[in-house]
Structure 1
Amino acid sequence: MAIQKLILSLFTLLMIVGCNESGTKNSALGVQAERKNKSGEIEVAYHNTQDYHSFSNPDSVKVTHLNLDLSVDFKQKTLSGHVTIDFQKITTDADTLILDTRDLVISKVMAQGKDIAFSLAKLDSFLGAALTIQLPTEADNVTIFYKTSPQASGLQWLTPAQTAGKTHPFLFTQSQPIHARSFIPLQDSPKVRVTYEATIRTPKELLAVMSAANDPDTLRDGQYHFSMPQAIPSYLIALAVGDLHFKAMGERTGVYSEIDILDAAAEEFEDTESMLIATEKNFGAYSWDRYDLLILPPSFPFGGMENPRLSFITPTVIAGDKSLVSLIAHELAHSWSGNTVTNATWRDLWLNEGFTTYLTYRIMEMVYGEERFNMEAVLGRQDLQADLDELKPMDQILAIDLNGRDPDAVFSNIPYEKGALFLRELEHKVGRANFDKFLLGYFEAFAFQSITTGDFIYYLEGTLLKEYSGKLSRERIDEWIFKPGVPKGAPVPESDAFAVVDEARNSWLSGTIDAKEIDSKHWVVHQWLYFLNNLPENLTTMQLEELDDAFELTISRNNEIAHSWLLICVNNWYEPAFPRLNEYLVSIGRNKLIKPLYRALASTPEGKVMAQKAFAKAKDGYHPLTVKVNEKFIK
């Protein structure tokens, strides 16, 4: 194994400085993949020399370590303190360090015990403001004293009333994609990896946790110390503060949450240790010591966030029957694809999310069986098609062009499901055992590195494309990565478990049977989602009443089923469901669940009025990202 790792390391080095026969040129700044068209002219298929979403200058001065000392002020809704930044000069004559910030108040910058000059550039609409620091000749670190804004995009401050316990306030961060700069001045680019230490000062009754080494038995004294020894990109730096408690689920896994939901969360996610063991067996050792979960308040804007050692999780997946735990598998899978091997820019997000979504399906198969794997793959393919039907061609490309655009625009099912489908085709072409061998080598070759799409293509050319030249082609790879849509002949996920659902739906729609005659007593959540998501676009009020009367869909407490049903109700103006719709929009902040509902409501004047009322009531409890995504629908 040591020899194999040495060979892989040498191969990776060659990729950084080499040039292959097909014209793939490589440099420390990225990869330019070239090919000749029919006229013999060279086309640039991919070129990446910079991160369009960072002002920083890591090619001249690269940040290597952060040491944070911050105090949490819930009354002022601010973090204040300082960060000491260790850096390495890449070019010997470099005399300035440029960092990313957004809405930070910088009071002073010091180096070698003295104040040094700094300047803040003009604010950009979504990138923030560049902080330029003049470096003394001999300095290898600087200390920045600063304070965050109450409106910081990466922080959400919740009042006691907005928490489960209703007694103490709550704070959590969300750094991805470029929100770390709103609470830390740093090089906020995924191609810059840093280690970090932190001292966080809080009210004594609260507990702080971070994406670092957390001690479940730490003394609750209002001063907490953290260390992250592995180098991570800035978007994985995370902090939460609240009335948190811990419960172990396995030898290396546990859950933090407010006490009211701790037992339910631990029971729901008790298979996390089994997922961890199964993933290690196929794809290599887990590199992060522990894998714990933090269950956040329902305002968390995402399903989960893969912060290393401590994934942040929405409570909306606590369904009581483990039907939605694929989200846990997804965040765990990021420990290999994303956290260990990371996209170098947000254009390359599919390298994180496509690989992770593919691994998610594999983990679900290993832990819960092939039938569950097949059902979830079919639903994933349908989610992908829904986005393909809505998105412009330019946004259907894996290596999406984000120059001049807010990086939040990259988040759709394209990098997730299209990326996973591409990898599934590679698996089908070369065989699962051979593809697993490739993945294991890939994770080892690029461990704790940030890579581009071009790096991936070059690695693919030296491995699978070379070994299986009769089954794979560069042209097909380019079609997947650089063209919109899904290529013809792509894998089509299928599930026998859905055949009975199709039969029941068709029989009911044709009037052969009544809704109450549908034999659904053994249906799992995935079959219900498939039933609902594949109903005709237009249904009568009588049909909706019949379904609701038979299955009590309006009062379903499964958040995914409720989402699908409520979307049908909005599109068909089924008024008996509207009180539940209002409750749903006000109580949940997860964008995947509420954005389609706001969008559907906004399509009619009457619906927009409903949306405006719900948004006005919910806004103070929504995360800033949720507000940004949905307020356009209610204007």
Structure 2
Amino acid sequence: MAPPFSSPAPLPSLAPDPHSYAGRSTARVSHLALALTVDFDHHTLAGSATWQLDNPAAATEVVLDTRDLHIEAVELLDKAGDTTPATFALGTADPTLGQALHVAIAADTSALRVRYRTAPTAAALQWLAPAQTAGTQPFLFTQSQAILARTWLPCQDSPGIRFTYEASLQVPAHLLALMSAENPTARSATGAYTFRMSQPIPAYLMALAVGDLAYAPLSHRTGIYAEPATLPAAMYEFADLEKMVAAAEQLYGAYRWEQYDLLMLPPSFPFGGMENPRLTFVTPTILAGDRSLTSLVAHELAHSWSGNLVTNGTWNDFWLNEGFTVYFERRIMEHLYGRDYADMLQVLGRDALHDTIAELGADSPDTHLRLQLAGRDPDEGLTEIAYEKGCALLLTLESLIGRPRLDAFIKEYFARFSFRAMDTATFLAYLRTELLDKEAGLEEQLHLGAWVDGPGLPSSAPAVSSSRFAAVEEVLHRLARGTAPGALVPATTEWSSHEWVHFLHGLPPTLSADELRPIDDAFHFTASGNAEISTAWFAHTLRAGYAAALPAAENFLRHVGRRKFLVPLYRALLATPDGPVRARAIYAQARANYHSVATGTLDSLME
């Protein structure tokens, strides 16, 4: 095993993580040597995870998180590298948290090795048959956030615990393997690959993908992996990737991960993107053909600072990852495409926030920034509250102190706490010391308590508006006054996806099928192919029973696995008179194409 990498000490006094068993011992993992064989026939990973340990308090056991793993053996390694069998035990199984793996250790234990294999149903692993991909070969990808790393790796699965890693993988020789690490750009003739991640990361940023993949560089430090059939479209869509990285560095400091590549996944990926270090996973639903949905990539890039560099200490502090990232994302987009473009993103985000508050309830504690998720799946906190209310707090602070001061604060924050975890209490103390206490009355103007531990959107939030959306609203007014949809086409020829989505959101939800038909004839929404537009359109057509769009909507639900799109469309369908029967029939056919992150939500919805 290679020598340990250096890793910064965690901040003191972080809140305990209610979603990890690791806090039951003071012994911490510091470096991982992973050796796995990927078995597509049996849908399993098998091998070993060797963990180097930090044990300054001389704890007598180390505790790892596992879920549905078959533990075959555990060995202890002393400082000379000699191994002895370990005494270990698995705790009581919890459907969300899994089982604690308790391993007895001695004072001279420097490392432990767990030999294991995953279950075919491991929640983090998505095994795809060739028919579910863009090519002719099977595909595997992982989704570890929030606490699914433990389903494919025995680990201390808390965002507050960081480690470096190296890995060796054996995969079928005709496929390429990638990880959130230094990656190959061409296939190995033997299917053997090695990886190294020298910057410490938390377990939720562990990532693996195996498939028929090709690579195309976009600059000296950026590029794209995709299935060969998808690669040309992806190269066109993300031609500005290097400009995004450069813009981000101008805002908040050097990019600290050397390489920034994208991996274009098959449609079953449950999220828009996942910010795995050095290798962002992205959904093909952002291949709009006009580069209008690339703000999603700006978001995942921004995570290279907010989240990957400075990480929420627990999932109760999720807003510290996402609020900063949304704010940062929109600053990148403004730098590249102008203020009027970024304004559209702010309005869409604010609309989504209002919808989420209405859905959760205006007084719900789930609309607080600081969440209380103990006893629940942390996925319940992955809502627009963390993203958009968090961003709105930073917009409010910007309005009070100005951009230059806020930018200086954020840049120093990322630099000071690089490769460390941060919880809400520690951040608030830092914010007060560095900004709020330096100006009398500033915290009262900000209404900080109402943001962090209060419901809804505080009154201090600045309004957001968009001149480009004002033009969209004028078209909507003309339509409402009786102008034929076909006559409105000339006013819409230069619209981006964002303007079309705003238009569709502005249509009355009570439109009948007969009223939707001429709109479709004019703008061809049913045949759009743009996932954002399709989702907004199909929500109307499903509610209204517009039969002409039903085959396209059903095809969309069967082939797109992004949870953001699936949930509103299934909800719209379930709310119609014959919708429950139709929705369950579609879901029965499509469920195998969805990741467990999506089915976990949709199973409950169907019930």
Give the alignment's TM-score, normalised by structure 2: 0.95
Q: CA deviation at 1:634?
A: 2.4
Q: CA deviation at 1:126?
A: 0.6
- Contact kept, 8 Å, 1:430 with 1:468, in 2: the verdict is no
Match of residue 567, structure 2, among 572, 592, 595 = 595
- Contact kept, 8 Å, 1:329 with 1:360, in 2: the verdict is yes
**Aligned equivalent of 2:552:** 580
- Contact kept, 8 Å, 1:191 with 1:233, in 2: the verdict is yes
Q: CA deviation at 1:96?
A: 0.7
Q: Aligned partners of 1:305, 1:525: CA distance in 2, in Å?
A: 22
**Aligned equivalent of 1:87:** 53
Query: In the TM superposition, what are the counterparts of 1:336-347 in structure 2 within 5 Å?
Result: 336-347=305-316
**Aligned equivalent of 1:134:** 104
**Aligned equivalent of 1:298:** 267
The alignment of Structure 1 onto Structure 2 pairs a total of residues equal to 591
Unmatched 5+ residue regions in structure 2? Answer: 1-7, 78-82
Q: Deviations over 1:606-631 (max 9, x none)?
A: 11111111111111111111111112
Q: Deviations over 1:153-179 (max 9, x none)?
A: 0101011111111x2111000000000
Q: Does 1:358 align with 2:330?
A: no
Q: Report the 3-state secondary structure (helix = DSSP H, G, I; strand = E; otherwise coil) of the residue aligned with 1:288.
A: coil
Q: Report the 3-state secondary structure (helix = DSSP H, G, I; strand = E; otherwise coil) of the residue aligned with 1:140.
A: strand
Match of residue 220, structure 2, among 227, 251, 254 = 251
- Contact kept, 8 Å, 1:62 with 1:90, in 2: the verdict is no
Q: CA deviation at 1:217?
A: 4.4
Q: CA deviation at 1:576?
A: 1.7
Q: Aligned partners of 1:405, 1:475: CA distance in 2, in Å?
A: 31
- Contact kept, 8 Å, 1:347 with 1:401, in 2: the verdict is yes
Match of residue 109, structure 1, among 64, 74, 78 = 74
**Aligned equivalent of 2:416:** 445
Q: Report the 3-state secondary structure (helix = DSSP H, G, I; strand = E; otherwise coil) of the residue aligned with 2:580.
A: helix
Task: Please report the RMSD computed on the Cα atoms of aligned residues, expressed in angstroms.
Answer: 1.5
- Contact kept, 8 Å, 1:330 with 1:357, in 2: the verdict is yes
Q: Does 1:459 align with 2:430?
A: yes
Q: Report the 3-state secondary structure (helix = DSSP H, G, I; strand = E; otherwise coil) of the residue aligned with 1:294.
A: strand
More deviation, 571-580/71-80:
571-580
Q: Aligned partners of 2:499, 2:316: CA distance in 1, in Å?
A: 34
Q: Report the 3-state secondary structure (helix = DSSP H, G, I; strand = E; otherwise coil) of the residue aligned with 1:136.
A: coil
- Contact kept, 8 Å, 2:17 with 2:23, in 1: the verdict is no
User: What amino acid does structure 1 have at the position aligned with 2:595?
Assistant: H
**Aligned equivalent of 2:516:** 544
- Contact kept, 8 Å, 2:259 with 2:278, in 1: the verdict is yes
Q: Aligned partners of 1:242, 1:58: CA distance in 2, in Å?
A: 38
Q: Does 1:51 align with 2:17?
A: yes
**Aligned equivalent of 2:5:** none
Query: In the TM superposition, what are the counterparts of 1:116-515 in structure 2 within 5 Å?
Result: 116-165=86-135, 167-217=136-186, 219-392=188-361, 393-473=364-444, 476-511=447-482, 513-515=483-485
Q: CA deviation at 1:569?
A: 1.2
- Contact kept, 8 Å, 2:543 with 2:575, in 1: the verdict is no
**Aligned equivalent of 1:44:** none
Q: Deviations over 1:14-64 (max 9, x none)?
A: xx6xxxxxxxxxxx232xxxxxxxxxxxxxxxxx3x111011137510110
Q: Aligned partners of 1:508, 1:83: CA distance in 2, in Å?
A: 62
- Contact kept, 8 Å, 2:186 with 2:214, in 1: the verdict is no
Match of residue 528, structure 1, among 500, 513, 524 = 500
- Contact kept, 8 Å, 1:465 with 1:473, in 2: the verdict is no
- Contact kept, 8 Å, 1:160 with 1:170, in 2: the verdict is yes
Q: Report the 3-state secondary structure (helix = DSSP H, G, I; strand = E; otherwise coil) of the residue aligned with 1:531.
A: helix
**Aligned equivalent of 1:29:** 13
Q: Report the 3-state secondary structure (helix = DSSP H, G, I; strand = E; otherwise coil) of the residue aligned with 1:259.
A: coil
Q: Deviations over 1:433-463 (max 9, x none)?
A: 1110011111011111001001110110111
User: What amino acid does structure 2 have at the position aligned with 1:379?
Assistant: L
Q: Aligned partners of 2:571, 2:485: CA distance in 1, in Å?
A: 29
- Contact kept, 8 Å, 2:38 with 2:46, in 1: the verdict is yes
Q: Deviations over 1:275-311 (max 9, x none)?
A: 0001101100000000000000000000000000000
User: What amino acid does structure 2 have at the position aligned with 1:298?
Assistant: P
**Aligned equivalent of 2:4:** none
- Contact kept, 8 Å, 2:234 with 2:287, in 1: the verdict is yes
Q: Report the 3-state secondary structure (helix = DSSP H, G, I; strand = E; otherwise coil) of the residue aligned with 2:578.
A: helix
Q: CA deviation at 1:605?
A: 4.3
User: What amino acid does structure 2 have at the position aligned with 1:450?
Assistant: A
More deviation, 212-221/287-296:
212-221
Q: Aligned partners of 1:90, 1:623: CA distance in 2, in Å?
A: 40
Q: Aligned partners of 1:489, 1:182: CA distance in 2, in Å?
A: 42
Q: CA deviation at 1:574?
A: 1.8
- Contact kept, 8 Å, 2:257 with 2:278, in 1: the verdict is yes
More deviation, 343-352/105-114:
105-114
Q: Deviations over 1:449-503 (max 9, x none)?
A: 0010011101101111023334343871111111010011311111111122111
- Contact kept, 8 Å, 1:57 with 1:99, in 2: the verdict is no
Q: Aligned partners of 2:582, 2:239: CA distance in 1, in Å?
A: 39
Unmatched 5+ residue regions in structure 1? Answer: 1-8, 17-27, 31-47
User: What amino acid does structure 2 have at the position aligned with 1:578?
Assistant: L
- Contact kept, 8 Å, 1:231 with 1:448, in 2: the verdict is yes
**Aligned equivalent of 1:42:** none
- Contact kept, 8 Å, 1:60 with 1:89, in 2: the verdict is yes
Q: Aligned partners of 1:220, 1:447: CA distance in 2, in Å?
A: 38
Q: CA deviation at 1:432?
A: 0.5
User: What amino acid does structure 2 have at the position aligned with 1:110?
Assistant: E
Q: Report the 3-state secondary structure (helix = DSSP H, G, I; strand = E; otherwise coil) of the residue aligned with 2:508.
A: coil
**Aligned equivalent of 1:34:** none
Q: CA deviation at 1:81?
A: 0.3
Q: Deviations over 1:494-550 (max 9, x none)?
A: 111112211111121121x11111121122211111111122221122221110111
**Aligned equivalent of 1:19:** none
Give the alignment's TM-score, normalised by structure 1: 0.91
Q: CA deviation at 1:633?
A: 2.5
- Contact kept, 8 Å, 2:66 with 2:99, in 1: the verdict is yes
Q: Aligned partners of 2:24, 2:91: CA distance in 1, in Å?
A: 18
Identity over aligned pairs, percent: 45
Q: Aligned partners of 1:483, 1:221: CA distance in 2, in Å?
A: 57
